[in-house]
Structure 1
């Protein structure tokens, strides 16, 4: 039966041909009857079991607690290989066949094969990274800004004439110059010189400093090219200055960046920015799904895809805002997105979640027609209406700054499931367009109002426990015939629990992974817990995206089919769900949540 050993299953797929043969030479087969105890607490461990057929349950000997259930290709007791003795009971739930590998042979493989050893030594995050290689496009995503992709900065004095500056650009084949004036640095492009000389009819002898832009956007040498791309898209520019600490060392041009980036995401960004009508904007928005699929198929890591899509979605909504709201209102109100969009965790388009903050004194009645138009525009761009009506065409979500403060105070005072849901929605605000200070002040008011509200935060955190973790009594994945709702079972408990901890700490970050980082820095979360929380979330998002793409890009579908996953992906999913279960237990202790 040794020929039935599955070497395609991690980590045995890392073994060389010689190591595989050595494993088979030293492996025996053991048969266990239904109900037979294979290992007992305190028993000395001298072998590792790999299940060929059957089901084995791991139990606590005294408390009747079930830790896990193992089946084909699973192995046990791994901890005992290093501790030397067993901690729990392992019982065959049905007739079972197991490969039996001597512990010494297992430890020899650990010594001989670093990849094999790494699989057992890594936590969830490490195993997920080891589950599959990243493809070539991720090389761009992880490429850093260095001398190989920037051009030296030519610095000129602000008193240099337009003629002299134009000659320098032509002689040195440059697209831009750095201008110094009154102790500041500015950017001067060929287009700036052209507009100055032709459109403004400035004499060629005039100095260039009035033509330069001194609102210089810069990146640090050593930062990721991807982050430079995000800055260019966000600020509608085609070049950034590169600094090393505070010293200016070069310029990164869009043409250089695009030559290394094959997915045309910035081309899409430019189409969004240059759209002159809602129809043109809709044409650009329609390609977002293809961009996601392209990036995913090329192996780009999910956090980078999410960051890119958050930026492009922001550009889409800002442009739609400009179409819907007359310019006279732009500094009198602020558009903010909420929910997954507010956290920057939306990949494929889901329903609209947005609100408006008006300056005090501005009548909502004169804004609502434009808000209604904006909601229709978003629907035209592929964002369906929110079933809960959390949209700017709903007067309940269009309030002045004073009304928002009053509403937040009411929700905090009510401390009901409904008010918790409302608070959860507004606790992830992300500014899109208008006057940003209105959103920042609202967020600050919310955080200040929650200080010292231990009972409210406890009830708020309890919402993370509302849905059952989809694990069976035996610790295996539980799902219905329709599939597993990964949002309820995995994503929501982690997002809500981290959100509660972040509100308790007064954090202004809204992205869950960034909140986890800040909570770790404040020692609210242990580093290993934080790593596993982040890895579990990324796995849930990844699995959901794969299923959504397989179903035609349905961003509203939250179901995944565990049975369709390869064995090692199911192992990762099961591990991640145990991370969720453990995190819930930590929330119960931290917030002193009492189960009914």
Structure 2
């Protein structure tokens, strides 16, 4: 029967062939009848149980409290392997067969195999990383900038003539030069020289500092190539300077990234930046789904995918904004996105969630035709209209700054379910285009309005408790014919609860993972709880994305079937849902929700 031991199940998949044979040599088979006690509280633990068949329940003997149920491939009592004695009772709920591994053999495997040990010693975050696929592209995305992927930077004096600089580019086969002038460094490209000489008809002896761009964007040597790509996309440039400390170390060109990245994300970024019509922009937007699937299938971690997609979606919307709104209005209003887009947590396209903040001397009626055109542009790019009409073509979401501030104050003071919903919508504003200071002032007023409003924040946080965590009384994943709604059961409680804590603490960051990090710095979370909460949320996103991709890229699908998940993913999901349950308990205590 030992040939039925499942070595494909973590953490036993980390064992070498020799270690697997040693495990089999030292493992016995034990039978337990229904209702039989396997372990009692306080009993010395001298073995680890791995269930071959049956169900075992972990319970508090005196209080009758049930902690968990274990079935095929589950193992227990892990804590007892390190503590030496059992804290709870374990009872067979049906006829059960277990592999029994002596504790000493288990500890020997822990010593001899670091990966095996890590699975037991780490929490949810560590286990999730241990079971994540290891793919070449994922490793490459995390490649750092070094001498192998940058070119030397040739620095010239700003008084160098156009003719001399052109000869230097040709002689040394360079695409760009660094210009030093008046204590600053600037970038000079072959295109700059061409435009200066031909279009501006500058004489060959003209100094090059008049052509160089001194708004130099730089990265540090040792940073990730991925981050350099993000800067190029965000700043609409094709090269960045590389520094080592304060010293210039070289130049990183987009062409070098093009030659190294095996996805087409950088090409897509360039297509968005260079689009001259909404049709060209739509052609670029249509490939976003393929990009997501490509990155996911190649093992790139979801937070990196989210970061890239947030940047590309921002570029798409910024370009659509430029197409829709005349240039003379760009400095008189600000476009902001809300919801998951505002938190930079949207991967596949969902419906539009956006608003406009206008300068106080700009009437909403003046921008209405352009706002309606912008909404049509977004629909053309694949963003369907919002069912709740949270869009700039709805006058309710286009207001002067003073009117927005008055509106925010009213929502806070009313403290009703409707006002809570409105506050939840606008609590995650992210600037896209126009004048950024308008969004900053909007957010500053919101945070000031809710500061000290304990009753409001308590009722706002209580929304995170609206949906039941899909766990059974015995601590297992609750089954349903309709599947598990991962948004209601896992994502929403974390996002809403963290959002309430962020509003309470005046945190301006809108991304949930960043909010958790900042709240940990403020000692609202213990580091271990923060790691587990972040890992749980990332797992929910990951499982949802896999389900959506399996359904043809349906960005609105929120349900998954736990029975179809691999065993290790079900284990992670169960653990993650327990993390959510504990987080809800923290919210109840922190905001005194039970006393309401």
Equivalences for residues 158-197 of structure 1 within 5 A: 158-197=158-197
Residues 229-275 of structure 1 deviation map (CA, whole Å, 9 limit, x = unaligned) = 01111111001111222222211111112111121211111111111
Residue in 2 aligned with 1:257? 257
CA distance in 2, matches of 1:101, 1:292: 43
Say which SS state the counterpart of residue 241 (structure 1) adopts.
strand
Residue in 2 aligned with 1:273? 273
Residue in 2 aligned with 1:21? 21
Equivalences for residues 149-160 of structure 1 within 5 A: 149-160=149-160
Equivalences for residues 539-550 of structure 1 within 5 A: 539-550=539-550
Say which SS state the counterpart of residue 101 (structure 2) adopts.
strand
TM-score of the aligned structures, taking structure 1 as reference length: 0.98
Residue in 1 aligned with 2:85? 85
Equivalences for residues 423-572 of structure 1 within 5 A: 423-572=423-572
CA distance in 1, matches of 2:22, 2:171: 69
Residue in 2 aligned with 1:35? 35
TM-score of the aligned structures, taking structure 2 as reference length: 0.98
Say which SS state the counterpart of residue 249 (structure 1) adopts.
strand
CA distance in 2, matches of 1:329, 1:103: 72
Residues 433-466 of structure 1 deviation map (CA, whole Å, 9 limit, x = unaligned) = 1111110110111112222222221221111111
CA distance in 2, matches of 1:248, 1:25: 61
Residue in 2 aligned with 1:44? 44
Equivalences for residues 81-480 of structure 1 within 5 A: 81-480=81-480
Q: How many residues align?
A: 596
Say which SS state the counterpart of residue 369 (structure 1) adopts.
helix
CA contact (8 A) 1:134 1:300 kept: no
CA distance in 1, matches of 2:181, 2:111: 63
Structure 1 residue 287 displacement after superposition: 0.5
Structure 1 residue 588 displacement after superposition: 1.5
Structure 1 residue 314 displacement after superposition: 0.5
Structure 1 residue 329 displacement after superposition: 1.3
CA distance in 2, matches of 1:545, 1:186: 42
CA contact (8 A) 1:334 1:357 kept: yes
Say which SS state the counterpart of residue 503 (structure 2) adopts.
helix
Structure 1 residue 31 displacement after superposition: 2.1
CA distance in 1, matches of 2:498, 2:142: 27
Structure 1: 5+ residue runs without aligned partners?
Answer: none
Structure 1 residue 547 displacement after superposition: 0.6
Structure 1 residue 133 displacement after superposition: 3.0
Residues 205-243 of structure 1 deviation map (CA, whole Å, 9 limit, x = unaligned) = 111111111111111111111111011111110011112
CA distance in 1, matches of 2:254, 2:294: 21
RMSD between aligned residues: 1.3
Residue in 1 aligned with 2:56? 56
CA contact (8 A) 1:461 1:587 kept: yes
CA distance in 1, matches of 2:63, 2:535: 31
Say which SS state the counterpart of residue 249 (structure 2) adopts.
strand
CA distance in 2, matches of 1:25, 1:186: 69
Residues 102-160 of structure 1 deviation map (CA, whole Å, 9 limit, x = unaligned) = 22222222222222111111111111111133211123310111122111211111111
Structure 1 residue 595 displacement after superposition: 6.2
CA distance in 2, matches of 1:147, 1:456: 55
CA distance in 1, matches of 2:111, 2:211: 66
Structure 1 residue 471 displacement after superposition: 0.6
Cα separation, partners in 2 of 1:479 and 1:383, compared to 1, 3 Å:
farther
Bigger shift: residues 174-183 or 281-290 = 174-183
CA distance in 1, matches of 2:414, 2:94: 52
Residues 552-582 of structure 1 deviation map (CA, whole Å, 9 limit, x = unaligned) = 0000101111111110110011111111111
Residue in 2 aligned with 1:573? 573
CA contact (8 A) 1:49 1:101 kept: yes
Cα separation, partners in 2 of 1:595 and 1:50, compared to 1, 3 Å:
farther
Structure 2: 5+ residue runs without aligned partners?
Answer: none
Residue in 1 aligned with 2:71? 71
CA distance in 2, matches of 1:212, 1:109: 62
